[in-house]
């Protein structure tokens, strides 16, 4: 894993999110877990070489941030925002998270097949949170402070973890660095407000949910990406384009690669991003009409 500061390490080369851990004078805090089984086992082993794991924090409910929890059973207390806990490994129309995790095994972690659980076994105990919070939460572990800040937008339960002693913020997917942004079913206005909240913190280093470790400048780049997507789809809606036309014609595939191991998802991202924004922008007038004419 890459050493971000003297006490923080992260991994940016796995398929999935950037899982990280922080060493303190009283053990280790893990922030997101690897999606791939053998990588999760290896990260747990490495983290525990620095002391007992005190907490496992998930920054969101998407499978690439939480699937590895299964391999961290018995290693510390799992902490989830209520929005993460409520959606933990839930199957949605746009994605079955368990099937998505299984699909990666042959191509990205063939050795992981031997320790990959079947669906019933996994869902019997996926190792979701036992400490559940709303709003913000501050944890003190040894000589380190962990400020878990609710930063919704990419997901409703999104959390950024600020470690002031290291001058580092770990944003989860509120920031995609140097790779395609997955809007999924996000709320762009909330997302931009969360970027502003992170900007107000006193930090030097930003560990994104995906892509290389970066700095404050990534907040402006992420904001610009969100506004470009929203503007392009708004123009399409204003021009009378149907959902099908918008999905076919609005694309930012030329703005960078998909993160490690997911190049085959490029068209899926463009389609889902454009379609979900079209749905949101065209739903507003109908909602207003229902209020006016109950």
Q: What CATH code is carried by the domain that includes residue 188? A: 3.60.15.10
Tell whether 131 and 244 lie within a shared domain.
Answer: no
How many independent structural domains does the chain possess? 2
Whole-model pTM: value is 0.94
Tell whether 20 and 110 lie within a shared domain.
Answer: yes
Alpha helices in the chain (DSSP H): 37-48, 63-66, 82-87, 97-103, 105-108, 119-124, 188-199, 217-238, 243-249, 266-292
Tell whether 253 and 187 lie within a shared domain.
Answer: no
Q: Which of 224, 247, 282 is the last residue of a domain?
A: 224
Residue 92's pLDDT is 87
Q: Collect all residues with Cβ–Cβ distance below 8 Å to 261 and sequence separation of at least 6.
A: 14, 15, 16, 104, 107, 108
Tell whether 171 and 276 lie within a shared domain.
Answer: no
Tell whether 242 and 220 lie within a shared domain.
Answer: no
Pairing relation of β-strands 77-81 and 131-133?
parallel
Tell whether 29 and 137 lie within a shared domain.
Answer: yes
Q: Cβ distance 29 to 57 under 8 Å?
A: yes
Alpha helices in 125-239 (DSSP H): 188-199, 217-238
Q: Cβ distance 226 to 188 under 8 Å?
A: yes
Residue 94's pLDDT is 77
Domain hosting residue 278, numbered range = 229-292
- Nearest C-alpha neighbor of 83 from the set 223, 10, 186, 183: 186
Residue 286's pLDDT is 47
Helix, strand, or coil (residue 149): strand
Tell whether 123 and 23 lie within a shared domain.
Answer: yes
Q: Collect all residues with Cβ–Cβ distance below 8 Å to 25 and sequence separation of at least 6.
A: 142, 143, 144
Residue 291's pLDDT is 42
Tell whether 266 and 198 lie within a shared domain.
Answer: no
Q: Which of 205, 224, 243 is the last residue of a domain?
A: 224
Residue 277's pLDDT is 97
CA–CA–CA angle 206, 218, 80 (5° rounding): 50
Tell whether 33 and 93 lie within a shared domain.
Answer: yes
Q: In what order do the strands lie in the sheet with 159-163?
A: 137-141, 144-150, 159-163, 168-176, 205-210
Tell whether 36 and 102 lie within a shared domain.
Answer: yes
Helix, strand, or coil (residue 191): helix
Pairing relation of β-strands 144-150 and 131-133?
unpaired
- Nearest C-alpha neighbor of 237 from the set 279, 182, 191, 289: 279
Tell whether 215 and 250 lie within a shared domain.
Answer: no
Helix, strand, or coil (residue 147): strand
Residue 216's pLDDT is 96
- pLDDT tens for the 294 residues of the chain, in order: 999 999 999 999 999 999 999 999 999 999 999 999 999 999 999 999 999 999 999 999 999 999 999 999 999 999 999 999 999 999 988 789 999 999 999 999 999 999 999 999 999 999 999 999 999 999 999 999 999 999 999 999 999 999 999 999 999 999 999 999 999 889 999 999 999 999 999 999 999 999 999 999 999 999 999 999 999 999 999 999 999 999 999 999 999 999 998 899 999 999 999 999 999 999 955 444 444 444
Residue 93's pLDDT is 82
Q: Cβ distance 174 to 192 under 8 Å?
A: no
Token couple for 275:
């379609």
Q: Which of 183, 209, 224 is the last residue of a domain?
A: 224
Tell whether 45 and 143 lie within a shared domain.
Answer: yes
């Amino acid at each position: 894993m890459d050493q971000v500061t003297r006490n923080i390490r992260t991994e940016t080369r796995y398929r999935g999110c950037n899982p990280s851990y922080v060493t303190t004078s009283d053990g280790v805090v893990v922030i997101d877990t690897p999606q791939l089984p053998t990588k999760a086992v290896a990260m747990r082993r490495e983290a525990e070489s620095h002391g007992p794991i005190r907490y496992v924090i998930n920054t969101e409910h998407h499978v690439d941030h939480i699937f590895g929890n299964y391999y961290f059973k018995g290693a510390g207390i799992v902490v989830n925002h209520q929005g993460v806990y409520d959606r933990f490994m839930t199957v949605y129309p746009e994605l079955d998270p368990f099937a998505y995790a299984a699909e990666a095994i042959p191509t990205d972690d063939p050795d992981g097949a031997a320790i990959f659980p079947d669906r019933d076994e996994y869902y019997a105990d996926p190792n979701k949170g036992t400490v559940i919070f709303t709003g913000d939460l501050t944890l003190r572990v040894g000589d380190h402070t962990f400020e878990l800040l609710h930063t919704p937008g990419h997901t409703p339960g999104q959390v950024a973890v600020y470690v002031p002693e290291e001058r580092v913020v770990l944003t989860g997917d509120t920031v995609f660095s140097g790779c395609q942004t997955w809007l999924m079913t996000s709320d762009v206005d909330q997302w931009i407000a969360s970027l502003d909240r992170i900007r107000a913190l006193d930090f030097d280093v930003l560990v994104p949910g995906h892509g290389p470790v970066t700095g404050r400048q990534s907040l402006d780049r992420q904001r610009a990406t969100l506004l470009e997507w929203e503007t392009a789809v708004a123009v399409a809606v204003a021009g009378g384009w149907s959902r099908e036309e918008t999905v076919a014609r609005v694309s930012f595939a030329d703005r960078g690669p998909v993160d490690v191991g997911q190049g085959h998802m490029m068209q899926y991202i463009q389609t889902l991003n454009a379609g979900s924004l079209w749905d949101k922008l065209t739903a507003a007038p109908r909602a207003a009409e229902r209020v006016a004419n109950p």
